[in-house]
Structure 1
Amino acid sequence: MQRRQFILAAAAGLAMPGLARAAADVQGPVRIVVGFAPGGGTDVLARVIGQKLGVMWNTSVLVENKPGATGAIAAAYVAKQPPDGTTLLMAHVNSHAIAPALLDVKYDPRADFTPISMVGVTPNMLTCRPEQKVRTVSDIVALCRQKPGKISFGSSGIGSAQHLALEMFRMQARIDVVHVPYKGSGPLVADLMGGQIDYAFDTMTAATPFIQQGKVIAIAQTRLKRAASHPNVPTLAESGFPGLDAASWYGLVGPKGMPPALVQRMNADVNRVLAMPDVAERLKSFGAEDSGGTNQQFSAFIASESTKWAKVVKDAGVKAES
């Protein structure tokens, strides 16, 4: 009896490395769910990363768009999927930090997901049209104080990262302004160029092509440091608002309960993809920095962002659209 138990134990021991390897294998096809429409920054990043991962994993990696509720619909969907690595989410500051503080979402951004890797952090930008004469941060603040409740600032929607960047700016500057929400960056930029609004907070990804064409002027960016892709655009932090940090970010997560070996495999592979020269150049063009790192670092980042944006929503009195 003892000999039989020894043989079974030995066989189990020999099988363990194989089981560990199997647990780390990515079984496809894999879906990366995006909570926004095709063509936006989140969607483009998911497709860039997904194409490279598909080659690494020798399987198809498909991007599936489930737009709505600033990413919350997609997040709620992924939270209910099996934790086998076949369904991932390109998480976003909206889905995992802002929406839970603003909406009655059907998931817990920390408890219901397995963080895999940060993909990138992107500043938002304060912009205006070329005809606008007042185009420095200090002059804008002075103008808003001269005309309280008259100067308009657009964003890509109520509760968006860009809206909350405006709210942080408004609260720190102690100014009274008009917020004009749009359904995305497209109509926002169109009205900014057309003169229907005075200023806009937009994503760096969306604003950059118009800045390069001279159709929009970049006034300031919203991270603590200047993005390498826009080295001549000052930050709000260096323009009289120390500590103002209002960035958008993206990262891969899966449902809770994913096998640790699989998470480590995926994290390592995402980091390899992010280090590829063509991918790094693409990320730089979006203003995306601070990519990669461990899944533990990404988990801690999500927790800190959740706390930060919940406070901004509360302090600014932001309410969801009725």
Structure 2
Amino acid sequence: MQADRRRILSWLGAAPLAAGGIGPCGPALAQGAGGNWPGRPVRLVVPYPAGGATDVLARALAEPLGRAWGKPVVVENRPGASGMIGADAVAKAEPDGHTALLTITTLVQAPSLYAKAPFDPVRDFAPVSQLGTTSLVFAVHNSVPAATLAEFIALVRSRPRQFSYGSFGTGSSGHLYGEVFNEAAGLDLTHVSYKGEAPELNDLLGGQVPAAVISVMGARPHVASGRLRALAVTGPARAPQLPDVPTFREGGIAGMDSMSWFGLLLPAAAPRAVVEKFSADVNRVLAVPAVRGRMSEMGVVLSGSTPDAFADTMRSDYARWGQVIRTRNIRLD
């Protein structure tokens, strides 16, 4: 992962960014809304450890934004409590636009898992932009006698209480999607929680757990080798990295069309002009081919959005996942 981070920074430094309107003194970025902001270095908090897709995306944005603004953009990793430690730090930071949060869908899921969350993901943040989306994959070990989602559903129904599925943590997107699938298909799959995708994938490959919800990039090499069989992906369309794998909807299962997202936010009281300038500048960086290509290699489809569109997505997902968590009585405290 360190090599990945060095490589993307090298690519971004060598790419013809000025041609895309984001050179170090590019007028498209330097003028307009936001006044004299930023007046000092911008802190970009990532509430997860270094090396993952969230961290790589943050560093991919930090380099060109720092050059364009003439101020460093410093990535700060603050992991812990399902991303809530870093998120809470940003929610309570000075709302002057110099402290931002780059996070994932967990931001609107985790608070519902606790009796007393330290922040409200809708009330306490100013959405800047959705940055990209990613799908999750429902995969089975190659010993499972099912080649399609329909065959797997029939198999589980024929053998009550004999099958389980893994996720990369209690209350994670993998767990929540698994519970939606369980209910929609009328199954009795037992959830097995892991501390991250690495141990989950290790047990799936070893056959200790017959099925699991995993990332596209975690699944791809093992699907190609035949060790795993990918039965369905979440989202409204097939994942570009696994074009032969149907969506859940294609397999007859509703409720799995939403996407896991990456997003950028500021504290709630940040000036609107700063929010809009930050959003416009970030969206220009997201259009750079080197950035898009590198994140695609990590299973992330970069998209970008307006602040208002991202706010709508957050409100919708907060309500949706909160309902799933309450209905299934999933708790972390």
**TM-score range normalised by the length of the shorter chain:** 0.7 to 0.9
Question: Mean alpha-carbon deviation: is it higher for 35-44 or for 172-181?
Answer: 35-44
Distance 1:40 1:216 in 2: 22
Distance 2:222 2:272 in 1: 43
Aligned to 1:190, which of 202, 217, 227?
Answer: 202
Deviations 1:83-110 (A, max 9, x none): 1222111132112x21121122101111
Structure 1 62/214 Cα, relative in aligned 2: closer, same or farther at 3 Å? farther
Distance 2:222 2:72 in 1: 34
Question: Mean alpha-carbon deviation: is it higher for 201-210 or for 276-285?
Answer: 201-210
Question: What are the residue-to-residue correspondences of 1:169-318 with 2, within 5 Å?
Answer: 169-212=181-224, 214-289=226-301, 291-318=303-330
Aligned to 2:71, which of 59, 70, 73?
Answer: 59
Aligned to 2:110, which of 92, 99, 103?
Answer: 99
Which ranges in structure 1 are unaligned for 5 or more consecutive residues? 1-18
- Name the TM-score, length of structure 1 as normaliser: 0.88
TM superposition shift of 1:155: 0.2
Structure with greater Cα Rg: 1
The aligned counterpart of 2:140 is: 128
TM superposition shift of 1:230: 2.0
- Name the TM-score, length of structure 2 as normaliser: 0.85
Distance 1:275 1:308 in 2: 30
Q: Assess if the C-alpha contact under 8 Å between 2:279 and 2:307 holds in 1.
A: yes
TM superposition shift of 1:38: 1.6
Deviations 1:101-130 (A, max 9, x none): 112210111111111111111111111233
User: How many residues align structurally?
Assistant: 302
Q: Which amino acid aligns with 2:238?
A: R
TM superposition shift of 1:21: 6.0
TM superposition shift of 1:314: 1.8
TM superposition shift of 1:57: 1.8
Q: Which amino acid aligns with 1:102?
A: L
TM superposition shift of 1:303: 0.5
The answer to whether structure 1 residue 146 and structure 2 residue 161 are counterparts is no
Alignment RMSD = 2.0
Q: Which amino acid aligns with 1:174?
A: G
Question: Mean alpha-carbon deviation: is it higher for 157-166 or for 213-222?
Answer: 213-222
Distance 2:161 2:55 in 1: 36
Q: Which amino acid aligns with 1:101?
A: S
Deviations 1:36-89 (A, max 9, x none): 122222222212222222222222222211112211111111111011222111
Structure 1 270/22 Cα, relative in aligned 2: closer, same or farther at 3 Å? closer
The aligned counterpart of 2:178 is: 166
Aligned to 2:96, which of 71, 77, 84?
Answer: 84
The answer to whether structure 1 residue 38 and structure 2 residue 38 are counterparts is no
